[in-house]
Structure 1
């Protein structure tokens, strides 16, 4: 190990202080040093991808992401059950572990690299190439929990109470809170000892150990606007907070790391990587799911399921696979010559959190997170040896949940969320432009003039959009990506709510806490918005429709609902209507999107879904804890 460290130090001496050279070296150095950290500190090795599979398993799970990894771990607790987890992508690696490098993971071989279709009924993503927004989704063991910003947010109590009120017993807040706590190993004592958190679970949750001075200003600004600084995952959601993350000792804690590595030696759990499911095998006479067709190493394979097939491929992959298997809207499937087994509203009700990207503020003090300032060999060494420093930052230093005039009057169900970042869009401009798909002409006009200015940003997000979209097939070929139509902003109130949220963001900048840094908004308009005066409704609507920004929270395309709900695809026990031995357990089952980041709720769905399966096969007396 000392020899490797010496060679790294030598490389650092050779590149001197050239920031471009340092920036190019950081991913390589971080990968090597993180690997050494695993050897030295982390006894949990990666799970093995089993090459020789059994012809039949009790349970076959499609998708090893935020939910699928949880389900596989929990079902394999029953020693006499055999479980196969099929994952289309590879395993995570050392680079995925480094929070500050999350931008390098999108558009990689671990990303499905989806894009929205060009808008038809509404205008959005107009600043992006081809008017298409990128929608990264994890194609890797651990799924999108490997690509995301690790934000741990549960949503609002009323989200889940509303689910139950729609005819889904067992999904109220009091019912699902124990599943959030079951997963959690909270490393912040002031949180862990409350009734809303827990320690000792598989999933490590902690606040980021490093932040800029602006994080304190953000919290103080919230107080100056009349909001409380609180645990927004606790008793009440409205307020400002330091971001809680799925992080362990300053490193990413994906669901693969949390739920699969500790149980990798279970003989009844097999994991097959680089194995893409192409069809669910269903007996047309009995309507029973029998198994799964999949492709591995270029070869078509089949595996049978003795008890159940469980679909955890996400809000895009799950409806796609159901429709390819003959479960979906009758007319749509027939148009593609797919034999219809069950006529259900699969792919409808698509919801996402969407907002205004690039909402930027300029300050005078040199205290923001910039690549030139923090990506150096000293920072890398601090990350390795002390598990601290700027490389533990995942970019989102603070969260806030605020109320516009369109929110319920009691103030307990906020309708806009802020992601606070003390960094400039120019800090890593090439990567940001690549990730967003922004047109060069837009970047050069709006953001390039900022140069090396010190900036911070807010991402205002619409928490409960009224506009819904749809996932539909383009082809019966499973390797052709589906049509993704998010249908953003077809309801005018979505735009008006976001505009109100943006103005609350302007008020954050105008508080004494930010004025001490001479904070002021960046007012350069998008080229197509120049005719509108800054801070008019028309100016902000034009800006929103151009730099449409999503943090990739697609949900609700296999809606959970009661039998009399004509839009429901699964019942409250997550079984698909009209079929036997087939369930969906992922974000697609949400009747409505939650008021916050979706990764923690999807893990909760995985926990509860696994218990529903155990109850159905082992009896209602099964213990849930």
Structure 2
């Protein structure tokens, strides 16, 4: 296994070296292009300007550029090669060379063992966090979208309607547990490929479901309470993202699409008629100006989108006044309504692991060779987590939401390389994905007044997880179900699976596995799962927390929309990437329809 160590030990350094090389190459091209301007800003005009080349921004820019002239501004660069391999996810997800790392204000109800300062890693590269995530592709529950329709008063958000948008961009090539649902809920021919991960442990996972009285099903389509495989945004062993699907294939040939890397937008330009008409930005630190004939679209993410609005005079009046920013419009909801998934990880050891169910890499050279074939195969094409289960808590059932799961339980095998023993490290991620606790992202006016413009030093992120007591109770309920799966079902007990997580120091002396113990455990080792939404929330016009309408138009400012996870008023009940892509696809189609209709008129 020395070969495995030799290969993996170099990955982080390669990511850093590639990121630095990409940035330097782009800088040299930029200098050659802009030096004739003699250090003065270049002013260019486009139909649309998209701020942020993340999951939403790449799709929006790609779709709009099919018919209009579009500028896409991204603060990072092209994803480095390592990001394409799902197996190497852990080496790219938190690497500071390609990610922004934000720190929260102190938290008090979770992560106490880690000091209570939560680090949020967001992708600083084209594709955004879709270029560094675990490639889980979950749409969420149909009830999530029906709820959006209720919260916005817009019936086009109902699942039966947005299903057409999912079908329009997906190329679903995966297996289904409920094969008879394929035609109703899935389609092929879209630009983004979605597959199904069917790991060897799946039959054991389904047997555990049967023993505990749960059905099996599919994670997407008509998601209900069930144990499911994981859907994944992977094709031929490589990551699929909105960058690889909507930008990369077209950037070099589509003259209507301009992508500016390493470009930090500092402010949206707004005229005296309260209409957005462009942005000012720095490209490799060089000031630039861009004008938009039609619209400016902010897709900078749940943290940076509200900050950009506030830097542009759109937000809570008191915060803008404190920072000395002229108020364009008072929108108190900007930065509020921060919603997130919360989680704990339970660790186990299979002390008599069945290699047929929990295979490991025994020959690294063979695994590499299989992955490097034209049709990639083998262990390195797998996700590092999954399968999963969606479970409705007693709280959900009491609220009449038995068919709207609020727990997600994800299986993970961590012992992936054979060490010659029969012990294999396992884990369950217990995720509360419909929490009632609400946080916020504030604006550091002191730093802004001192000249700071970097979002990492302006964001005051306060998750406030578990401030609603029933969230803690629901989490403990999920923990107990997770223990049942691993400790009281045949397939896992045949492998002598045992809970081997240590007791947090702060929880010593509390009766083991009591509710009080698990409450302490969550306080010490609970996580933000960084599935954050809501800080530029859609809503009804009369709601003071509404920032954008159901078409993502910023209230009170013409020609300005926000299209990213920040507009989602609640999290979906699963990993966010699929839901964010849907938000972007729906938005792009609405914009195209509106401007096509305006052109006709």
| Same fold, TM-score > 0.5, yes or no | yes
Helix, strand or coil at the partner of 1:137: strand
TM-superposed deviation, 1:534: 2.2
Among residues 205, 214, 221, which one is paired with 1:227 in the alignment?
Answer: 214
Cα gap change, 1:381 to 1:518, in 2 (>3 Å): same
Aligned to 1:487: 464
Cα gap change, 1:208 to 1:481, in 2 (>3 Å): farther
Among residues 517, 521, 532, which one is paired with 2:499 in the alignment?
Answer: 521
TM-superposed deviation, 1:397: 2.0
Q: Distance in 2 between matches of 1:29 and 1:281?
A: 39
Residues 313-345 of structure 1 show CA distances to partners (whole Å, capped at 9, x for unaligned) of 110010010011111111111111111111111
Map of 1:52-201 to 2, 5 A cutoff? Answer: 55-78=44-67, 81-105=68-92, 106-119=94-107, 122-128=108-114, 130-169=115-154, 170-188=156-174, 190=176, 193-201=182-190
Cα gap change, 1:108 to 1:291, in 2 (>3 Å): same
TM-superposed deviation, 1:363: 3.3
Residues 215-251 of structure 1 show CA distances to partners (whole Å, capped at 9, x for unaligned) of 3312221122111211121223211111100001111
Residues 37-88 of structure 1 show CA distances to partners (whole Å, capped at 9, x for unaligned) of xxxxxxxxx9xx986787111100001111111101110111xx21000000
Aligned to 1:471: 441
Aligned to 1:348: 336
Cα gap change, 1:351 to 1:375, in 2 (>3 Å): farther
TM-superposed deviation, 1:208: 3.1
Cα gap change, 1:539 to 1:522, in 2 (>3 Å): same
Aligned to 2:201: 214
* Structure 1 contact 125–131 (Cα < 8 Å) conserved: yes
* Structure 1 contact 368–423 (Cα < 8 Å) conserved: no
TM-superposed deviation, 1:508: 0.5
TM-superposed deviation, 1:29: 9.7
TM-superposed deviation, 1:393: 2.3
TM-score scaled by length of structure 2? 0.88
When structure 1 is superposed on structure 2, of 194-203 and 161-170 the one drifting more is 161-170
Among residues 538, 543, 546, which one is paired with 1:560 in the alignment?
Answer: 538
Cα gap change, 1:322 to 1:75, in 2 (>3 Å): same
1:387 matched to 2:342? The reply is: no
TM-superposed deviation, 1:100: 1.0
CA RMSD of aligned residues (A): 2.8
Helix, strand or coil at the partner of 1:237: coil
Helix, strand or coil at the partner of 2:430: strand
Aligned to 1:579: 557
* Structure 1 contact 310–583 (Cα < 8 Å) conserved: yes
When structure 1 is superposed on structure 2, of 285-294 and 491-500 the one drifting more is 285-294
Cα gap change, 1:493 to 1:86, in 2 (>3 Å): same
* Structure 1 contact 19–372 (Cα < 8 Å) conserved: no
Among residues 408, 418, 421, which one is paired with 2:409 in the alignment?
Answer: 418
Cα gap change, 1:27 to 1:348, in 2 (>3 Å): closer
Q: Distance in 2 between matches of 1:460 and 1:387?
A: 32
> Which residues of structure 2 form unaligned runs of 5+?
18-25, 35-41
Q: Distance in 2 between matches of 1:359 and 1:335?
A: 46
Q: Distance in 2 between matches of 1:205 and 1:374?
A: 29
Cα gap change, 1:293 to 1:371, in 2 (>3 Å): farther
Q: Distance in 2 between matches of 1:282 and 1:532?
A: 58
TM-superposed deviation, 1:269: 0.6
Aligned to 2:23: none
When structure 1 is superposed on structure 2, of 289-298 and 402-411 the one drifting more is 402-411
* Structure 1 contact 168–560 (Cα < 8 Å) conserved: no
Cα gap change, 1:519 to 1:329, in 2 (>3 Å): same
Q: Distance in 2 between matches of 1:125 and 1:609?
A: 36
Q: Distance in 2 between matches of 1:455 and 1:355?
A: 19
Q: Distance in 2 between matches of 1:308 and 1:380?
A: 47
1:278 matched to 2:266? The reply is: yes
Residues 578-625 of structure 1 show CA distances to partners (whole Å, capped at 9, x for unaligned) of 110000000011111111111001001101101111122111899xxx
Cα gap change, 1:158 to 1:238, in 2 (>3 Å): same
Helix, strand or coil at the partner of 2:221: coil
Q: Distance in 2 between matches of 1:26 and 1:275?
A: 27
Helix, strand or coil at the partner of 1:194: helix
Cα gap change, 1:65 to 1:22, in 2 (>3 Å): closer
* Structure 1 contact 416–463 (Cα < 8 Å) conserved: yes
* Structure 1 contact 113–136 (Cα < 8 Å) conserved: yes
Aligned to 1:336: 323
* Structure 2 contact 152–538 (Cα < 8 Å) conserved: no
Cα gap change, 1:168 to 1:335, in 2 (>3 Å): same
Cα gap change, 1:278 to 1:239, in 2 (>3 Å): same
TM-superposed deviation, 1:135: 1.1
Residues 378-427 of structure 1 show CA distances to partners (whole Å, capped at 9, x for unaligned) of 21111111412221223112111012211125621111001111225x98
Cα gap change, 1:114 to 1:365, in 2 (>3 Å): same
Q: Distance in 1 between matches of 2:598 and 2:45?
A: 26
* Structure 2 contact 347–425 (Cα < 8 Å) conserved: no
* Structure 2 contact 227–389 (Cα < 8 Å) conserved: yes
Aligned to 1:363: 351
When structure 1 is superposed on structure 2, of 136-145 and 361-370 the one drifting more is 361-370
